[in-house]
Structure 1
């Protein structure tokens, strides 16, 4: 009796773009060049958050259907991801940063594992992030805790990592493929069933931690995140966010408080707010002064002042379930 041929899984690729320059076109070309025999790319959706550069010019995905959604304003990363996901119906969703590139064997290495029994309770898959020289980059993270953030604020995560673990798992600490708290959102493959079940990314996050939030909600719903070392992805990193300057930290503070009030007890969340408003800026100011980083020194107070104004104007922060 002849066994039925294996059905090749299909994914819709969603890329959120904001002034990514040449990287967006290179990302698309890498998808086209990738071996798609084990994981088919049904369509690519590029959601542009009101870019002002030339990144959308002459986009081409060859034989893969390409949809470009142009927002008239920057609606944030989570909103744009949800927009892009709505355009497809494949069983899998692959969220890619525009500054990533697939290797020829990236999808080939991932596809066969998806339909195996060990993958049945895995809802999110990620790969090994490499820089342009092939050096390993951060690929996985821990769910953040109050101790994690305290260590990061004070530098204790570098002095005493056993007591103050870092948020990101160092590349040298990864011992191979396996379940993790969260895979990096630059390459974030999600089962559409799970994405629908969780109503997508939480749109209260403008930038940062939307992937961590999603992974935690998935874990609580019984789905694992899984890191695959053989799935290699080239990642330039911070191509778009670096253009924000010091205000990138302001957006991180917003997302951090949103995450804390959504997932922690209220006392822990308010403790983080106290540390954020009193301890962290003092440490950052002292460090900037000692290193002679005058731009950072001048920007620190306005960033935390703006965050305080946002926090005071957002009473809903302490009304999460």
Structure 2
């Protein structure tokens, strides 16, 4: 599969422009309402936008707060709040919304838009994604340029993780990436549409035919790696994934989970992060490849730590990173089945 390939413009195909958006909530009612508020103008960018908010059995008053906002602001015509029976994870919650969208009575529903609760949609974001699907019939998944509130770009387009890239990711050596530019999982983005391996799932539009071919998200992932896995599965069905920088979405990094937020560098990564990573490698490359990837990352990372000590660099790592990585990957059976 080609990575970061600029796409030539093709003759647009006629595509249904009714879109179903899915937003999963777990204790982030205020963020959900903020996201819905940003979608009001977006409704004009397609024939019909139906939003499904799925509450993943929040333990707070999220359901009441979101329902009150929908009623008070007159959003009931285009927003439906659904309550999942349990918190089965991010993929599980999205699938609840996707199933509802596919079972709807709108035959022109042509795409499903997965949105994080911690996003604010800029004007024209959906229109740009739909235009990309129309212009590139081979594109099955298209994603937005994620950015900070001030417009600073975030890394949104990535390469698939492999054994070699896990070594490079652990080593974190600039010279290595200069010598082997394809080794970087998160390369520098360019300001044009291009094909990539996978996209951050905070704003990802999926063509309906891709869901027909590929199926739903893998609910074996509680949180993280579900979008990586889905893009790889779609690629194996000959669908391409395209980064669309003209589609701009503010991403309040990690506020929906707290794991990847920028003030959380020293927090301990949860067990489900390691489980999701292990599942991705085992499901897609096999158990031996996962073990080799684990060894590659761990060896590279230990060398990186040694270099930091020699150079007296002050680097903050997640707490217990090495201990947890060894424990959950080598000593503790991960949920990868």
User: TM-score, normalization: structure 1?
Assistant: 0.81
Instruction: Give 3-state SS (helix, strand or coil) of 1:231's partner.
Output: strand
- Rounded to whole Å, the distance in 2 between the matches of 1:276 and 1:233 is 32
Cα deviation code 1:217-254 (max 9, x no counterpart): 11111111111121111111111221697453533322
Q: Which moved more, 1:266-275 or 1:193-202?
A: 266-275
Question: Residue 271 of structure 1: CA displacement?
Answer: 0.8
Q: For the Cα contact (< 8 Å) 1:46–1:84, is it kept in 2?
A: yes
Work out which of the residue numbers 271, 274, 279 in structure 2 matches 1:250.
271
Q: 1:44 to 1:218 in 2, by over 3 A?
A: same
Instruction: List aligned pairs for 1:1-321, cutoff 5 A.
Output: 9-38=17-46, 40-41=48-49, 43-56=50-63, 57=65, 58-60=68-70, 62=75, 64-89=77-102, 90-115=109-134, 118-156=135-173, 158-162=174-178, 163=180, 165-171=183-189, 174-242=190-258, 246-248=267-269, 250-275=271-296, 280=301, 291=314, 296-298=318-320, 301-302=323-324, 304-311=326-333
Q: CA deviation at 1:285?
A: 9.8
CA distance in 2, matches of 1:178, 1:285: 37
Alpha-carbon distance, 1:152 to partner: 1.4
Higher relative contact order (CA 8 A, sep 6+): 2
Report the Cα offset of residue 305 of structure 1: 2.3
Q: CA deviation at 1:266?
A: 4.6
Deviation per residue, 1:42-96 (Å, 9 max, x gap): x211122232345441332626432222235421111111111011132210000
Say if 2:168 and 2:300, in contact at 8 Å, map to a contact too. Answer: no
Are the equivalent residues in 2 in contact too, given 1:8–1:40 (CA < 8 A)? no
**Count of aligned pairs between the two proteins:** 303
Check 1:198–1:154 CA distance in 2 against 1; reply closer, same or farther (3 A cut).
Answer: same
Secondary structure of 1:36's partner? helix
In structure 2, distance between residues paired with 1:212 and 1:91: 22
Q: How much does 1:216 deviate? A: 1.1
Unaligned runs of 5+ in 2: 1-13, 103-108
Aligned-residue offset at 1:283: 5.9
Give the Cα–Cα distance (whole angstroms) in 1 for the partners of residues 151 and 38 of structure 2. 16
CA contact (8 A) 1:44 1:64 kept: no
Q: Is the 8 A contact 2:167 2:300 kept in 1?
A: no
- Measured after TM superposition, the shift of residue 281 of structure 1 is 7.0
Query: Retained in 2: the 8 A contact 1:250–1:303?
Result: no
Q: Which residue of 1 aligns with 2:3?
A: none
Deviation per residue, 1:201-226 (Å, 9 max, x gap):
11221111111111111111111111
| TM score, norm. by length of structure 2 | 0.78
After superposition, what is the alpha-carbon deviation per residue over 1:1-48, rounded to whole angstroms, capped at 9, x for unaligned? xxxxx876111111111222521111011111225243531x211122
Conserved in 2, the CA contact under 8 Å of 1:14 and 1:95?
yes
